[in-house]
Amino acid sequence: MSNCKASFKNWRDSFHKLLFVSTLIVSIAIPVKIVNACGPIYEFRGYSFIQPDIVDLSSTFAPFFLPMDDVEAYYVGQQTVTQQGNLQEWQERFCNKPKIPDIDYLVYSASIRELEQLKTAVLSPSIKLSSSLSANTFAKYLHRHKCSETIDYLIFAKDCEPYVGELDPWKDERRDVESMEFLIQDGLEMFEKVESHYIKLRYAFQIIRLIHYAKQHRRVLETYDYLMPKIDNDPSIIEYWIDSHKAGAMMALNRKVEASYLFSKIFGECPSRRTQAYLSFNLDTEEEWRACLRLCQTDRERANLHAMRASERNSKIIEELYHIYQFDPENENLKLLLVKELKKLEKDLLGLQFNDNKFYNRNNFGIPRAIAGKNVLGLNEFVQMVIDDGRETDLGLWKIAEGYLEMLAGNFYDSARTFKDARRFVDDDPLEEQLEIFEMALQISSYNMVNDSIEREASRLQRDELFQMHRDFRDFMGDRFAKLYEEKGFPGKSFIMHHPLSDLKPNPQLGIIEDLINIARKPRQNRFEKAMISVPNDTTTIENDLLDMKATYFLSNFMVEAAMETMLEMDQKEWDNYGLFYPFVERINDCVHCPFPDSVQVLNKGQLMNQLIGLEYKARAEPRQAAQYYYQLGLAYYNMSYFGNSWKAMDYFRSGSSLSPWRAAKDNGIIPHPDFPNGNRENFDCSKALYYFEKARIGAQDAELAAKATYMAAKCERNAHYAYGVERTYDYFEMLRNNFGRSQFVQDVIAECKYFSAYISK
C-alpha cells in the first residue's frame, strides 16, 4: 500500500466520513443532502442507468459501500440498526414470546415509575399490572415468570441513560462524574448478585459504558478484564458493544493497531455498531496496516479489513477486490464494492464524448478521474476472473457488469455479445430490468450516424415504457443526437435536442433557425422530427416563431428588406401575435417601460418594417420632406435599440445589468449568460439612428426639427460612451447651445434634461 499514511488520513478527514458522522453517528439513518445556504450548489451533470436494487440494499454494509441516495429508499421508515438488533435479541432471550413493539416500549419508552410498578407487581401477587402495561406482552411475560432481575436491570439502564448521551457543545455541558461513580458502584454490586449470565453481560456493558464516558480509559480495560471472565453467556451483540468501548479506550491510550483490529472485527460482525467502528478505525502508516493485518485470526477478518480499506474514497479498489476475493470469495461486500466502482466509472465514462456538461464536471468534480481508463480495464479483468473461476454460482450481476464495463470502455460489439450471453444467468426481475436498461443505453451509444431510419428507431425507443421510466434516457439520447447532428451539419436539430426554442431568442443564430424551418416545411416528417418542431400541447408547429425570429435577426442587423420578406412568409393575420410597438414616440428622457399616449401610432412587426421601407422610399422621392422622414427613421431605430421603448422589435431579452459587462464582452459583444447557450446579444448600436438624425439635422429647413434631430444625435453620442466605453464627447450638446438656443424645443430640453441643463450652465 503506497502512501498509506496520507491515504488513511485522507480517509479519516474526507467528506465521506463527515457524511457518516452527520447522518449515521447514532444509527444507520437516512442521510440528507448537505446544502450550503451561503453559496451555489454544485451537482454532477451526467447520466446513471445503474439501478440500486441489483444488490441487496437491506445489507447493513450497503450504506458504507454504495452512494447514499441508493440506500435511502430502503432505510426510510426502518428502525435504527442498533435499536432493531437490541430488540430482536431481547425477544430471542425470552423464547420469542414477547412482541417487538412491546419490548420496544418497555426498553426505550417506559418510565422508571412504570418499571418500579411492574417490579412491585412481580413481588406482590395481589397487585395487578398497571393499565399502561396490562396488554404489554413483554411486561406480562416478566410478571408471569417473576423476572425481577431483568426489571432491576431495566431500571438501572434507565438510571444510566442521562450520563451516556452526547453533550451539547453549545451549552457547555459537563459529565456528572460523581453521580456516574455511584451508578458504577451500584452496577458492580448488582453484577455480583444476579444469577443470569445474560443480565450480568448487560450490567457489564452499562458499567463499562459509564466508565468510558467518564473518560477513565485505563479503568475501562481493567474493568473489562475483571468482569468479562466472570460471564458464561451465549454469543450476544452486547459483547460487540462492550468491545467497542474497549477499542475506544485503546485508541485513547494510543494502542491504535489493537483498537483498529477490534473495530474491524466489530465492523464485520456487528451491524448495530458498524457505523461507530467504521468511523473510529484509524491507521496512519504502512507499518500499522501490516501489524493490524497480522492480528487477524481468520480469512474472513482479513477480507473485512481489506473491505474497510476499499471503502476509502481514493482507494486502490481493484487491488482490494482481489484481496477480498482471495480471502473470502463469498464475502457479501464484493458485490457492493463492484457496484460502487461501477457507478464511479459510469460517471467517468458514460457519454463522455457527447456530454455537453463534461467541462463543468471536470472543473467542479475532477470527473473523469485520471485513473478511469485504467480502472475500467482492471475491473473488467477482475469480473472476468470471478466468472471464469467458477466459485461464484450467482453470475447474473457479474455478467451484466462485464457487459457494461465493455460498453463504458467503448467496446460496443463485445458489450452487445456479453449482454446477450448474460440472459442465461439472469433469474430475477431487478437484474432483468437492469439488463434491458443497459441494452437500451448501448443502442443509443452505438449510433454513429443520423438518417431517417435511425430517427424513426429513436422515436420508437422514446415511446418504450423503460425509456419513459428512467429520466436520464431523455438527456442521454438528446446529447448523443445533438453531437451527431453537430458533426453532420444539422445545427438546428443539434440545438433543439438540448434547448427549448426560447433559449435561442437572446442571440438568434441564422443557421439554426433556417435548419429548423427546413424541418418544419419538410413534406414528410418522421415522428422524431415532428417532436422537434411541434408546439407543446398544440397542433401547430414552431414555424411562425422561427420566421419571427429570423425577421428579428435581420432587423437587428438593419437588413429591413430581408426582414420584411421573411415576415411575408407568414400569414399576415399572425403578425399581431409577435408584438405591438410604438417606434415613433418622442421623448426627451429615455424611459423604457413608461406608458404611451393614446395618440402614438402602434404597429406590429410587419407593419413597422413596411413603414421603415416606405419612409426610406419617401425620403428619396420627396426631397423637401426628406428631413422629416429621416427624423422618423432615426426615432424608430433609436426606440428599437437597447435604450428605447420598442427594444422588443429587435430583441427578445433585455438585461439592465448588461451595460457594464458589455465593454469587456468578447465575440462581437455577445454577453455571456448562464441561462442562454449562445449568450445575450444586446442592441446597443445607435449608429443607424445617428445616421438618420444627422441626415435630418443637415437637411432640415425648420429650426425646431433640426433641434430635435440634434438632441437625439446627442443621445446617440452619449450611448456610445455608455455602451462601448469610448471617450465622452459633447459635440451635439455644443451644437444645440450655439445654434438652437432660442428654439422652443431647446427650452423644453433645458427644463427636462438635467444633463443638458448642467452642460449649458458651465
Cα gap 11→245, rounded to integer Å:
22
Cβ 445 vs Cβ 407: under 8 Å: yes
| Residue found under cell 479489513 | 305
Can you read off the three cell numbers belonging to residue 523?
413534406
Beta bridge partners of 580: 604
Is 388 in the same domain as 456? no
Question: For 31, phi and psi rounded to 5 degrees?
Answer: -75, 155
Q: CB within 8 A of 337, min separation 6: which ones?
A: 65, 307, 310, 311, 317, 320, 321, 324
* pLDDT score, position 299: 97
Residue 367, classed as helix, strand or coil, is coil
* pLDDT score, position 142: 94
Residue 453, classed as helix, strand or coil, is helix
Q: What does the DSSP assignment read for 6-58?
A: HHHHHHHHSHHHHHHHHHHSSSS--------TTS------S-----GGGS-TT
Cβ 409 vs Cβ 445: under 8 Å: no
Report whether pLDDT(727) > 90.
no
pLDDT confidence tier of residue 600, bands split at 50, 70 and 90: confident
Q: What digits encode the pLDDT tens for the residues 431-490?
A: 999 999 999 999 999 999 999 999 999 999 999 999 999 999 999 999 999 999 999 999
| Residues 444, 447, 453, 455, CA torsion sign | positive
Cα gap 669→692, rounded to integer Å:
24
Report whether pLDDT(173) > 80.
no
Residue at 620 is within a domain: yes
Mark which of 370, 390, 425 sits at the end of a domain: 425
* pLDDT score, position 28: 36
Is 420 in the same domain as 456? no
Diameter of the chain by CA atoms?
123
Can you read off the three cell numbers belonging to residue 20?
457518516
Averaged pLDDT, 680-692: 94
Report whether pLDDT(193) > 80.
yes
What stretch of H or E contains 256?
helix 256-269
Report whether pLDDT(37) > 50.
no
Is 396 in the same domain as 459? no
Q: What is the dihedral of CA 621, 623, 629, 630, to 10 degrees?
A: 110
Residue at 547 is within a domain: no
Residue at 472 is within a domain: yes
Q: CB within 8 A of 300, min separation 6: which ones?
A: 268, 327, 328, 331
193 closest CA partner among 228, 136, 151, 149: 149
Neighbouring CB atoms inside 10 A of 704's CB total 13
Residue at 753 is within a domain: yes
Beta bridge partners of 435: none
Residue that wins the pLDDT comparison between 604 and 760: 604
Residue at 126 is within a domain: no
Neighbouring CB atoms inside 10 A of 197's CB total 13
pLDDT confidence tier of residue 652, bands split at 50, 70 and 90: very high
Residue 465, classed as helix, strand or coil, is helix
pTM assigned to the model: 0.79
* Strand ranges inside 592-663, DSSP E: 603-604
Cα gap 215→282, rounded to integer Å:
19
Report whether pLDDT(7) > 70.
no
Is 503 in the same domain as 639? no
Q: What digits encode the pLDDT tens for the residues 257-306?
A: 999 999 999 999 998 888 889 989 999 898 999 999 999 999 999 999 99
DSSP state of 105: I
- State how far the alpha carbon of 402 is from the alpha carbons of 208, 382, 411, 441, 444, in Å: 49, 9, 11, 15, 18
Is 462 in the same domain as 604? no
Is 393 in the same domain as 478? no
pLDDT > 90 in the chain, percent: 73
Q: CB within 8 A of 354, min separation 6: which ones?
A: 479, 480, 482, 483, 484
Select, from the ranges 82-91, 307-316, 646-655, the one with the highest average predicted confidence (pLDDT).
646-655
Question: For the ranges 15-29, 247-261, 364-378, which has the lowest average pLDDT?
Answer: 15-29
Half-sphere exposure of 5 (CA within 13 A, CB side): 2
Q: What digits encode the pLDDT tens for the residues 494-514?
A: 999 989 999 999 999 999 999
Residue at 42 is within a domain: yes
* pLDDT score, position 675: 85
Is 461 in the same domain as 401? no
Is 502 in the same domain as 624? no
Is 405 in the same domain as 517? no
DSSP state of 573: G
Is 594 in the same domain as 668? yes
Residue that wins the pLDDT comparison between 40 and 35: 40
Q: What digits encode the pLDDT tens for the residues 121-130?
A: 999 888 888 8
Q: What is the dihedral of CA 115, 116, 122, 123, to 10 degrees?
A: 170
Question: For the ranges 63-77, 533-547, 621-635, which has the lowest average pLDDT?
Answer: 63-77
Mark which of 507, 538, 569 sits at the end of a domain: 538
Question: For 264, phi and psi rounded to 5 degrees?
Answer: -65, -35
Residue at 277 is within a domain: no
Q: How does strand 603-604 pair with strand 676-680?
A: unpaired
* pLDDT score, position 168: 67
Is 589 in the same domain as 518? no
* pLDDT score, position 672: 86
* pLDDT score, position 666: 57
Question: For 334, phi and psi rounded to 5 degrees?
Answer: -60, -45
Is 510 in the same domain as 594? no
Q: CB within 8 A of 715, min separation 6: which ones?
A: 590, 638, 643, 686
Report whether pLDDT(342) > 90.
yes
Residue at 36 is within a domain: yes
* pLDDT score, position 19: 38
Which residue range forms the structural domain that includes residue 499? 447-538
Q: What does the DSSP assignment read for 177-245?
A: HHHHHHHHHHHHHHHHH---HHHHHHHHHHHHHHHHHTT-HHHHHHHHHHHGGG------HHHHHHHHH
Q: What digits encode the pLDDT tens for the residues 68-89?
A: 555 554 444 444 778 888 999 9
Q: Count of domains in the chain?
A: 3
Cβ 638 vs Cβ 644: under 8 Å: yes
pLDDT confidence tier of residue 25, bands split at 50, 70 and 90: very low
What stretch of H or E contains 676?
strand 676-680
